[in-house]
Chain A
Amino acid sequence: MGSELTADKVLDCTGLLCPIPVVKTSAAIKEIDVGQILEMVATDPGAPPDMEAWARQTGHELITQTADGGEYRFWFKRTR
């Protein structure tokens, strides 16, 4: 489902653990415009709940996410 989305920026956080994916995602979302989409890839098993919480706390929209084996993909829309 997520693959139908076209990301304006892709951030690779594979092999990284908390807090680095969250820190990098916060920085990357500022590099795209409001309304654009950031795709993030992670392998940290803590990433799905962490990134859902990140979206809740920062107000950016988590459009969708996928889990394929040990690889987690997230699509965020910058909202502000």
Chain B
Amino acid sequence: MTASTSEPAVRAVPDESPGAEAEPARKSLALVASKGGLDEVYPVLIMASTAAALGWDTRVFCTFYGLDIVNPKRNKKLKVSAVGNAASPPPLERGPEFRVPTILGILPGMNWVATKMMKSWMKKSNIPDFSGMMDICLENGVQFYACATTMGVMNVAQSDVMPEASCLGATAFLDFAADADIALFV
């Protein structure tokens, strides 16, 4: 938060690096990640890694169950919920028009089935698993923040959060988001 806290609330002047007079201003993406289901976290990581690959200043504010994204004790075990998921496809190879009745989502083991299914689709499509996607984000400079309030409410210590993610309040994140080109809430 070094840049955004000290600057006034006007668009930052683009870096005038030598030899690049027509260099466009660096774009930025502010993402709020409030969900902790695997199917809700993948879109966050895909958007963030893509924006970072474009060279954008990309920052993700992990709040409520989205805090699991930056919690190494929990982020390897993210699940897809079968309950209340009206789009849930069948576990068997059936027509695309077939849907599992949502009431079946309450059966024991259905979350396991839904999670397993999504992981197998991702693998078949050569999309990296959670850890692989997180590595791509970090290597490309995505900045993750752990919501300070959520840490307090859910009793999560800074030592529980991955070292790349720093603790931040909503005010400080909104200060960045106010000047971001795009702000998304997931």
Contacts and interface: CB of A to CB of B under 8 A. Distances in A.
Contact of A16 (B23, B27, B50, B126): B126
B127 A23 contact: no
A17 B55 contact: no
B127 A17 contact: yes
Contacts of A66: none
The 7 A-B residue pairs whose C-beta atoms are closest, nearest first, are A19-B50, A26-B53, A57-B54, A23-B53, A22-B53, A19-B49, A19-B46
A23 B140 contact: yes
Interface in A9-66: 15-20, 22-23, 25-26, 54, 57-59
Contacts of A58: 54-55
Interface string B40-62: 00000010011001111000000
21 contacts: A16-B126, A17-B126, A17-B127, A18-B46, A18-B50, A19-B50, A19-B53, A19-B136, A20-B126, A20-B127, A22-B50, A22-B53, A23-B49, A23-B53, A23-B140, A54-B53, A54-B54, A57-B27, A59-B24, A80-B20, A80-B23
A23 B55 contact: no
Residue of A19, A20, A22, A57 with most chain B CB atoms under a 10 A cut-off: A19
A76 B50 CA distance: 18
Interface residues of A, number: 15
Interface residues of B, number: 17
A17 B54 contact: no
A22 B126 contact: no
A16 B128 CA distance: 10
A51 B24 CA distance: 19
B125 interface: yes
Contact of B55 (A15, A19, A20, A57): A57
A17 B53 contact: no
Interface string B133-176: 00010001000000000000000000000000000000000000
B141 to A, nearest CB: 11
Contact of A15 (B54, B126, B140): B126
Contacts of B20: 80
Contacts of B46: 18-19
Contacts of A80: 20, 23
Contacts of B140: 23, 26
A32 to B, nearest CB: 16
